Structure 1
């Protein structure tokens, strides 16, 4: 995933970072993407490649 946000390129590491940020700092995926200037579609596709999808009820990728 190419981003100026300094996120890891490895999908498993990306999953860990994103879920931690969602848990600790953001009420939703939209808020995280807006604040960090991340393309939501690109993020969800990157994590979808390792069979993870965003669950809004849990506010995490599962």
Structure 2
């Protein structure tokens, strides 16, 4: 999959892809953003629109409470 194009897909699908890469390949959001060749703030903003935020302690996007 061409990861830098993934940010243009449905945000719910993007959430699954992002969390999978964070879980298995990337040590933090910055390394994921580099891998995907996207701005990490843009990633956070897109996922915030569907009610998710990045939690560095667990290295995952989690639902807002």
Per the normalisation by structure 2, the TM-score is: 0.83
CA distance in 1, matches of 2:22, 2:49: 19
Larger % of strand: which?
Answer: 2
The one-character-per-residue Cα deviations of 1:14-61 (angstroms, maximum 9, x if unpaired) are: 000000000010000001111221111111010000110000000000
Larger % of helix: which?
Answer: 2
Pair 36,59 (structure 1): closer, same or farther in 2 beyond 3 Å: same
What do you get for the CA RMSD once the two structures are aligned?
1.7
Higher mean alpha-carbon deviation, 30-39 vs 50-59, is at 30-39
Per the normalisation by structure 1, the TM-score is: 0.86
State how many pairs are aligned: 60
Corresponding residue of 2:15: 15
Q: Which 4+ residue blocks in structure 1 deviate beyond 4 angstroms?
A: none
Corresponding residue of 1:59: 59
* Structure 2 residues not aligned, in runs of 5+: none
